[in-house]
Amino acid sequence: MALHEKTRKDVAPPEISPHPVRGTGRQTATAAAVDTTVPKAWDGFLAYVISQVCSPPVLATAAMAIIAWTLASPHAWRWAGTYVFLAIVAPLVHLFWLVWRGRVSDLDVQLREERTRPLLFAIACAGLAWLVLALGGAPLKMVAAAGGLWVQMAIIFGITLRWKISVHSAAAAGVATLVWSLFGTLLPLAIGVPIIAWSRVRLRRHTVAQTIAGSALGLTIFLVAVSMTC
């Protein structure tokens, strides 16, 4: 009997968030399924930093900044700022709101079933940004990049309905392909993309297959997009 009682005491209780979800009056049911802690191991911490620094919003912003820098004109920077505000800032604000309301468990949207709403809003915002750039007379390279990002998100949304593909890897491969077309270097594609994919696998956000699929998607979409500007 004593051994039985000791065993029961050693069993950890279920991990349930002590804070109710705002606006719902219930506890977070998915708290145990989502890990938002920063890894303590050096490789886990490194993967976490890489994943945050190279997140899709950061990479999309970098893509537009790179194009504006190569064009070297205030006109291009204004269009880059317009795109970032419509296609990146607005969806991020919406995502923060979803997390605050308890509709999404975390900013990384780890649970596939929670990705539908933020992805639909991001697709709408990216489509609007693409339309504004195309109709407003933005540089062709920016219009092509905006179009590539929109198509990429739309395809990712369709895949996400049945399978969890790596958005980080898709964004990384897309930007790396853009850099390749502008500067002729394969280093970001050959080194940067695998490192970002490794970080997602190390954090257990994705499998190797999901990162490979994301990378292949980003590479394909942006090869088509940059070919339209040649």
Q: Any bridge partners for residue 20, and if so which?
A: 27
16-20, 33-37, 187-191: which range is least confident on average? 16-20
* pLDDT at residue 23 tops 60: no
* Biggest CA-to-CA distance, the chain: 79
Q: What is the pLDDT of residues 25-84, one digit of tens each?
A: 333 444 446 777 889 999 999 999 999 999 999 999 999 999 999 998 999 999 999 999
Average pLDDT over residues 110-133: 94
Q: How many percent of the chain have pLDDT more than 90?
A: 75
The pLDDT value given to residue 8: 41
CB burial class (10 A; 0-12, 13-18, 19+) of residue 191? Answer: exposed
Q: How far apart are CA 132 and CA 128, in angstroms?
A: 6
The pLDDT value given to residue 36: 75
- Delimit the domains of the chain by residue range: 55-227
For all residues of the chain together, what is the average pLDDT? Answer: 87
| Res. 99 pLDDT band, cuts 50 70 90 | very high
* pLDDT at residue 6 tops 80: no
Q: What is the pTM of this model?
A: 0.82
Given a contact cutoff of 8 angstroms between Cβ atoms, the answer to whether 62 and 175 are in contact is yes
Q: Which of 109, 225, 106 is nearest to 157 (CA)?
A: 109
* pLDDT at residue 123 tops 50: yes
Given a contact cutoff of 8 angstroms between Cβ atoms, the answer to whether 173 and 222 are in contact is yes
- Report which residue type is found at 210: Q
The enclosing H or E element of 183 equals helix 167-183
The pLDDT value given to residue 21: 41
Given a contact cutoff of 8 angstroms between Cβ atoms, the answer to whether 132 and 82 are in contact is yes
CB burial class (10 A; 0-12, 13-18, 19+) of residue 88? Answer: buried
CB atoms within 10 A of CB 175: 28
Q: How far apart are CA 43 and CA 51, in angstroms?
A: 12
* pLDDT at residue 229 tops 90: no
CA angle (58 as vertex; 120, 54 as ends), nearest 5 = 110
Q: How far apart are CA 5 and CA 69, in angstroms?
A: 67
Q: What is the pLDDT of residues 165-184, one digit of tens each?
A: 999 999 999 999 999 999 99
Q: How far apart are CA 160 and CA 114, in angstroms?
A: 10
The pLDDT value given to residue 33: 62
21-25, 75-79, 98-102, 120-124: which range is least confident on average? 21-25
The pLDDT value given to residue 43: 93
Backbone angles phi, psi at 159, to 5 degrees: -70, -40
The pLDDT value given to residue 18: 38
72 phi-psi bin (left φ>0, alpha ψ -120 to 50, beta other): left
| Res. 7 pLDDT band, cuts 50 70 90 | very low
* pLDDT at residue 110 tops 60: yes
The pLDDT value given to residue 53: 95
> What is residue 54's three-state secondary structure?
coil
Q: How far apart are CA 16 and CA 37, in angstroms?
A: 15
